[in-house]
Structure 1
Amino acid sequence: MKPTFLAVIPARGGSKGIPRKNIREIAGKPLIAWSIEEAKKSKYITKLILSSDDKEIIDVAKQYGCEAPFVRPKALAADETPGVDPILHAIEQCPGYDYVVVLQPTSPLRTVENIDGAIEMLLAKKKDFCVSVTESNQSPYWMYNLNVNGMMDPVIKQPNFAVRRQDLTPAFYLNGAVYVAKTKRFKITNSFLTNETLGYVMSENQSFDIDTEEDFIQCEQILRDCKSKK
């Protein structure tokens, strides 16, 4: 039997860094629309929903074809609310799906190929968790803490210090674009990050995560450039 996937786009109304960020227009459409449109192209996603406490965001999401079957409780939309809580709530409101996929609206350069690629990796390797990552251009093997005396202490202890970048072990960071998990396991772990989580590698130019006004401006230019090339 074909597995079922519930995709959740979490988008609360409060955004201090960039007010009304999730529905602010970027390259001709609301930010959240970029994620909705790519998710709707997926050949795996069974149901796509929005989790939001904000009526305006809900209305915009619906205009782009995303279901909003509930209004997120205010208690799950505070600054201090752990990111996993709204996802667990969404699963409770829409039960019965084998897997949950989380798509942050702040990753507008993420494509359907990235979404389906992460899902296909998880299914092919028969694992329960997969998250998108990007190779870091700043290696943690060349990073240090400074102790109370101002002396350098390596973040990662190494028996042999690599003096050439090409000799360093590649390091990857979470880019926030795609999270996939088997629903039953996720409800137990309350996390996408386990000892068996797979890392789906995305290119740096697809891994833009909008957090600041500068990010917004830079990402908009990238999106406009991509549209002009098409």
Structure 2
Amino acid sequence: MINKKRVLAIIPARGGSKGVPRKNVRLLSGKPLIAWTIEEAKKSKYIDRLILSSDDQEIIETAKTYGCEAPFVRPNNLAKDSTLGIDPVLHALEGIPGYDYVVLLQPTSPLRLAKDIDGCIERLTETSSHACVSVTYPDSSPYWMYTMNEKGTLQPLIKQKGISTRRQDLPMVYALNGAVYVAGIEWLKMRQSFLTEETAAFVMPRERSYDIDTEEDFMWCDWVLKRQLR
């Protein structure tokens, strides 16, 4: 609870995964991937209830083992490759009333800490925003990116008077890192998206902003966590 507002956290974890098969229950530095998110969420100062949204029985049983509630099985039509990320959140909110804020925690961000979750919630309330999402500094600036035309020549992605050769001369930019999404529930139901022009940002360091989408991502996070444990 924060400012007398109740907070519901949702971990979405479907069974199908093409990039890294069965990644949500695959062992990462000795624990299932999903366990890293559950354990940090349970350390939060503000989360009143933590639930899982999954279509997969193995994921459900694994989450329960680590103390995450699974009050329902997600319908198959909300567990497809084409399913929008917001749909499982809205589905969960339909059956779980009585909360003011919702926090979406994707299990593919195992390096995210409880202080990042709480920091994003605090940022939401401090700025009196309807939503807040975590971001980080991208590896490459879009001001140094190009498209290619039909002739095979490069065209700047962002039109500029001149191309800066020093990174410090470029405008500061941020990229979504997928770690934490927070919003007022009634506002989210109307907007059906965490991302609008009203959304605030909570900046996380790059070293905690890895989002597992490939085998290489999984291997890197495994190395980072094993190094931290040592």
One-letter amino acid matched to 2:197? N
Name which of 27, 30, 35 aligns with 1:28. 30
Contact 1:114 1:202 in 2 (8 A): yes
Q: What is the DSSP-based 3-state SS (H/G/I as helix, E as strand, rest coil) of the residue aligned with 1:179?
A: strand
How does 1:19-58 map onto structure 2 within 5 Å? 19-58=21-60
Q: What is the DSSP-based 3-state SS (H/G/I as helix, E as strand, rest coil) of the residue aligned with 2:103?
A: strand
Name which of 142, 154, 169 aligns with 1:140. 142
How does 1:121-200 map onto structure 2 within 5 Å? 121-200=123-202
Q: How far has the Cα of 1:163 moved from its partner?
A: 2.4
Q: TM-score scaled by structure 1?
A: 0.97
Gaps in structure 1 of 5+ consecutive residues: none
One-letter amino acid matched to 1:41? K
2:10 alignment partner in structure 1: 8
Contact 1:136 1:170 in 2 (8 A): no
Q: Distance in 2 between matches of 1:159 and 1:110?
A: 38
2:71 alignment partner in structure 1: 69
Over the residues paired in the alignment, what is the CA RMSD in angstroms? Answer: 1.0
Query: What percentage of aligned pairs have identical amino acids?
Result: 61
Q: Distance in 1 between matches of 2:173 and 2:128?
A: 24
Q: TM-score scaled by structure 2?
A: 0.97
Name which of 111, 116, 119 aligns with 2:118. 116
Q: How far has the Cα of 1:160 moved from its partner?
A: 4.2
Q: Distance in 2 between matches of 1:159 and 1:77?
A: 46
One-letter amino acid matched to 1:16? K
One-letter amino acid matched to 1:205? E
Gaps in structure 2 of 5+ consecutive residues: none
Q: What is the DSSP-based 3-state SS (H/G/I as helix, E as strand, rest coil) of the residue aligned with 1:216?
A: helix
Q: How far has the Cα of 1:131 moved from its partner?
A: 0.5
Is structure 2 residue 218 aligned with structure 1 residue 216? yes
Q: How far has the Cα of 1:151 moved from its partner?
A: 2.5
Q: Distance in 2 between matches of 1:8 and 1:151?
A: 46
Name which of 82, 87, 92 aligns with 1:90. 92
Return structure 1 stretches of 4+ with deviation > 6 angstroms. Answer: none
Q: How far has the Cα of 1:112 moved from its partner?
A: 0.2
Greater mean alpha carbon deviation, residues 100-109 or residues 145-154: 145-154
Q: Distance in 1 between matches of 2:155 and 2:34?
A: 42
1:88-130 deviations in whole A, cap 9, x for unaligned? 0011111221011000000000000000000000101110111
Q: How far has the Cα of 1:152 moved from its partner?
A: 2.1
Q: What is the DSSP-based 3-state SS (H/G/I as helix, E as strand, rest coil) of the residue aligned with 2:219?
A: helix
Q: Distance in 2 between matches of 1:26 and 1:115?
A: 21
Q: What is the DSSP-based 3-state SS (H/G/I as helix, E as strand, rest coil) of the residue aligned with 1:114?
A: helix
Report the CA distance shift for 1:19/1:161 in structure 2 as closer, same or farther (over 3 A). closer
Contact 1:7 1:47 in 2 (8 A): yes
Q: Distance in 2 between matches of 1:16 and 1:165?
A: 36
